[in-house]
């Protein structure tokens, strides 16, 4: 479904991605792991069209999407829930969710809104509240709900557990498993190694702009290289 080939990207003189290739096939959970500054978020930015790559190619559902605008990328069903949530703090919960279907799945807006409220009953309680006043966990639910409003074919989750309490992190991973159970392909970009490897089918470990490790999640977990890539030992 998603094919990334030899992607090179950076900002100014800094090269962040030095040629990464990865695949996500339909119905899979793929974890992309890596410590701070490894290039995870830059990879997502390139996939969503917010940063133009210097070299390489991104294909989605068989179509080349390299160089398309963010709007064109998301119109094809590649939806990203960004790091730091990036919800609209001045809009209320309903408006945030409705804007999730600004460009895609607008016709089924009411129906999808109901679905999001079923998944996150807490959001229904807060429907008229300004999103900026929600707690961190609620904001993360809102960001995922906003992504679901667009009927994603592939959902990229960038650090969904960041800044959440251990209990909420547990809840978040349960939710990801559930979304996956409904047939959604998910690319999970995380620093939370153990829990990500528990739910992922396959994993990539990003280090200094290249994949240091790749393979089935169980194999990556047992690989001694994992510790080295993570801790720099």
Applying CB under 8 A, the residues found at the interface with other proteins are 48, 50, 69-71, 74-75, 79-80, 82, 85-91, 95, 98-100, 102-104, 146, 150
Min separation Cβ 213 and other proteins, Å: 28
Q: Report how far residue 42's alpha carbon sits from residue 172's, in angstroms, rounded to the nearest whole number.
A: 23
Which residue number, 98 or 138, has a Cβ lying nearer to other proteins? 98
Of 70 and 137, which has the nearer Cβ to other proteins?
A: 70
For the bound state, the minimum distance from the C-beta of residue 48 to other proteins, rounded and expressed in Å, comes to 6
Q: Count Cα atoms within 13 angstroms, Cβ side, for 142.
A: 32
* 8 A C-beta contact, residue 28 and residue 201: yes
Nearer to other proteins, 8 or 50 (CB): 50
Give whichever of 15 and 109 is closer to other proteins, judged by the CB atom.
Answer: 109
Residue 154 and residue 80: Cα distance in Å, rounded?
Answer: 8
**Which CB, 1 or 150, lies closer to other proteins?**
150
Least distance from other proteins to the Cβ atom of residue 74, Å: 4
* CB 156 to other proteins: min, Å: 10
Task: For the CB of residue 98, give the shortest distance to other proteins in the complex, in Å.
Answer: 7
Mapped onto helix, strand or coil, the DSSP state of residue 82 is coil
Six token digits for residue 179: 């979304």
Q: Is 19 exposed, middle or buried (0-12, 13-18, 19+ CB in 10 A)?
A: middle
In the complex with other proteins, the residue whose CB is nearer, 74 or 184, is 74
Numbers of helices and strands, H then E, in the chain? 10, 10
The answer to whether the CB of 197 falls within 8 A of the CB of 181 is no
d(C-alpha 102, C-alpha 149), whole Å = 9
* Minimum separation from the CB atom of position 226 to other proteins (A): 30
Q: Which two tokens stand for residue 30?
A: 């793929």
């Amino acid at each position: 479904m998603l094919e990334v080939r030899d992607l090179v990207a950076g900002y100014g003189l800094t090269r962040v991605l030095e040629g990464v290739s990865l695949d996500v096939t339909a119905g899979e959970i793929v974890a992309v792991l890596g410590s701070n500054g490894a290039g995870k978020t830059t990879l997502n930015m390139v996939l969503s069209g917010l940063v133009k790559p210097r070299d390489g190619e991104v294909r989605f559902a068989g179509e080349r999407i390299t160089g398309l605008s963010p709007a064109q990328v998301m119109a094809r069903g590649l939806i990203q829930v960004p790091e730091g949530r990036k919800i609209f703090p001045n809009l209320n919960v309903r408006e945030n969710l409705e804007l999730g279907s600004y460009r895609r799945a607008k016709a089924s807006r009411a129906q999808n809104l109901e679905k999001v409220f079923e998944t996150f009953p807490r959001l229904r309680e807060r429907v008229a509240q300004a999103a900026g006043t929600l707690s961190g966990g609620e904001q993360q639910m809102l960001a995922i709900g906003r992504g679901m409003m667009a009927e994603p074919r592939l959902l990229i989750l960038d650090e969904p557990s960041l800044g959440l309490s251990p209990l909420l992190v547990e809840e978040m991973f349960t939710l990801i498993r559930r979304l996956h159970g409904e047939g959604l392909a998910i690319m999970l970009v995380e620093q939370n190694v153990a829990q990500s490897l528990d739910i992922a089918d396959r994993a990539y470990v990003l280090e200094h702009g290249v994949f240091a490790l790749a393979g089935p999640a169980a194999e990556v977990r047992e690989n001694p290289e994992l510790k080295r890539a993570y801790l720099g030992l």
